[in-house]
Structure 1
Amino acid sequence: MRSPRNNERKTAYEDVDVSNYSRHLNGHNAPIWWGIIGLILIELSVVSAFTVTYLYLYMQHGQWPPADIPAPPLLIPTWSMLLMLFSCVTMYLAGKSIEKNQSWHFVIYTFASVIMASSVLWIRWLQFDNFDMRWDEHVYGSLLWTISGFHFIHIVSAAIGTAAIGCFGMAGFYTKQRQIGVVVDTMYWNFVAFAWLPFYLVLYFFPRL
């Protein structure tokens, strides 16, 4: 004999009408949206830990960088920061293009962002060549290399993911109804771009105060 509780469950399941539900979820309704928020929060904790560690050592030393070590040149990292921030504009325009079902505009803006990120990677690689110290010489060198390398890898991952999104766009995969992949990729891209701001301040601005 079926218990009354089981009968209630069966009735509840039978009364749910899902015929009007869309299989294309966007925004807060999509599990992947919350997934990317969780990923950003985890990586934000790492960004915060690096920044606080650098500031702690900066405040504990009378001279920072240590004696005989010049502050890193300011021009190249400034250009790379401006390029990354401008790439957020093209990513925003890419998202707006999908909302209007303008696939080729989306592809153009997406690959423009990838090109800018690739330019930043090339600039950073040249910058690594010009560092005046090894990563294992002292704590300042370790932080400079670790923070710079950490963000370099994040730009690589963002550029690869966005290039894949652009290729799907060329195939006509994304539409106004099916754009959650574009949304979460743009969220991560913006995080990577703006994560450089605290790093830029502590690595290149604070040593000049």
Structure 2
Amino acid sequence: MKQTIVRSVNELPTYGFGSRTGPWWGAMAFIALEGMGFAVAIAAYLYLYAVNPKWPINSPPPDLWPGTLATAVYVLSVIPNELTSRWAHKLDLRGVRIGLVIMSLIGLALLVIRGFEFAHLNARWDLDAYGSVVWFVLALHTTHLATDVGDTLVLTVLMFTRHAKPRRFSDVTDNVFYWNFVVIAWLPLYVLLDWTPRL
């Protein structure tokens, strides 16, 4: 049987950035699902806030300093994160390595700060509905933070090995995109957890 080549795709690129790649769309779907999870958690918190005459129920509000420190680090992290994205689009290996190392350190620092946030919630998770929802909301965001830190660490290692090929630069931009989601998701949660109990 004779085969006819309809079109040769040898010259097409083997990687791309943004919406031209499958992983980007996967990240978008993941973010949509996780965003809905955050919306449900926020709704649960606000429902409990609305139906209880005293809020927090049996605890003082969380201490402000850990959440405020984390928020400042999140907001400032956008700068090296966006620089890393620019370097990745230019296929600048040295710049991407620097950016990923910085973002890895920022992520690890935020995990340490998150430990202090849990310690300063001033509520036990099993004491009442307030304690349960506060711990749940903070734990939910922690899973996203830890996921992105793990991804960043893996990418950092890969970019220092023979696997630092053009396709990996696309993975770096996807990681940058997800980190921006983690930052944006935290901002309303900071207001919810640290300031709503003080209203």
Scaled by the length of structure 1, what TM-score is found?
A: 0.86
| Match status 1:77 vs 2:72 | no
Letter in 2 for 1:29: R
Q: How far is the alpha carbon of 1:193 from its aligned partner?
A: 1.6
Aligned to 2:49, the other structure's residue is in SS state: helix
Unaligned 5+ segments in structure 2 are none
Distance in 1, matches of 2:165 and 2:178, equals 20
Which protein has the larger Cα radius of gyration, Structure 1 or Structure 2? 1
Distance in 2, matches of 1:175 and 1:100, equals 13
Question: Percent identity between the aligned chains?
Answer: 27
Distance in 1, matches of 2:177 and 2:75, equals 13
Q: How far is the alpha carbon of 1:38 from its aligned partner?
A: 0.6
**Residue 133 of structure 1 aligns with which residue?**
123
| Aligned residues of 2:104 and 2:149 also touching (Cα < 8 A) | yes
**Residue 187 of structure 1 aligns with which residue?**
177
- Residue in structure 1 matching 2:26, options 20, 35, 38: 35
Distance in 1, matches of 2:117 and 2:13, equals 49
**Residue 113 of structure 1 aligns with which residue?**
103
Q: Deviations over 1:95-124 (max 9, x none)?
A: 211233321221112111111121111112
- Residue in structure 2 matching 1:24, options 4, 9, 15: 15
Letter in 1 for 2:24: W
CA RMSD of aligned residues (A): 1.9
Unaligned 5+ segments in structure 1 are 1-9
| Aligned residues of 1:101 and 1:175 also touching (Cα < 8 A) | no
Moved over 3 A (4+): 172-178
| Aligned residues of 2:125 and 2:135 also touching (Cα < 8 A) | yes
Aligned to 1:15, the other structure's residue is in SS state: coil
Report how many aligned residue pairs link the two structures: 197
Scaled by the length of structure 2, what TM-score is found?
A: 0.90
**Residue 198 of structure 2 aligns with which residue?**
208
